[in-house]
Amino acid sequence: MGKILSVNISKKKGVKKHNVTSCRALIDLGLEHDAHIGMELRQISLLATESIEKIRNKGLNVSYGDFAENLTTEGIDLYTLPLGTKIKVGHDVLLEVTQIGKICPKPCAIFYAVGDCVMPKEGIFARVLSEGVIVVGDEITIC
């Protein structure tokens, strides 16, 4: 079992996201008011604080949302989950893992600063199967 540390959105694609404390996840769309809403398979992105800590250990002061992740989590090695895994967030939201990692069209500022970035290797993407509000502190369980 894990938990949500940060719920992040942005109005534009390709920028850091900011913590909004809570946000509604909409079926087959993603997080309300996020720039990536409506994507077919990559509706919500997740990255574990354990992955973020790897970059911090290289000397870069990064925060939740700096990797453009929607949900920052703790307690689950997200990138080890098989495609199709169902993730329950809080009481109502059910996600399905659709992609592990991503190909970045160009290296990001984090990569240029420390020669590495964890989102392409350890970030995951999911689609929303059942909607509800995701709140910082919500428990995450693998179904």
Q: Which two tokens stand for residue 20?
A: 């909004």
Question: So what's the pLDDT on residue 104?
Answer: 58
| pLDDT by position in tens, the chain (length 143) | 999 999 999 998 878 899 999 999 999 999 999 998 998 889 999 999 999 898 788 787 888 998 889 999 999 999 999 999 999 999 999 999 999 876 655 655 554 454 555 565 788 999 999 999 999 999 999 99
Where do the domains of the chain lie?
Answer: 2-142
Amino acid at 28: D
- Find out whether 12 and 80 touch, Cβ atoms under 8 Å: no
Q: Superfamily assignment of 2-142 in CATH?
A: PK beta-barrel domain-like (2.40.33.20)
Q: What's the whole-model pTM score?
A: 0.90
Question: So what's the pLDDT on residue 55?
Answer: 78
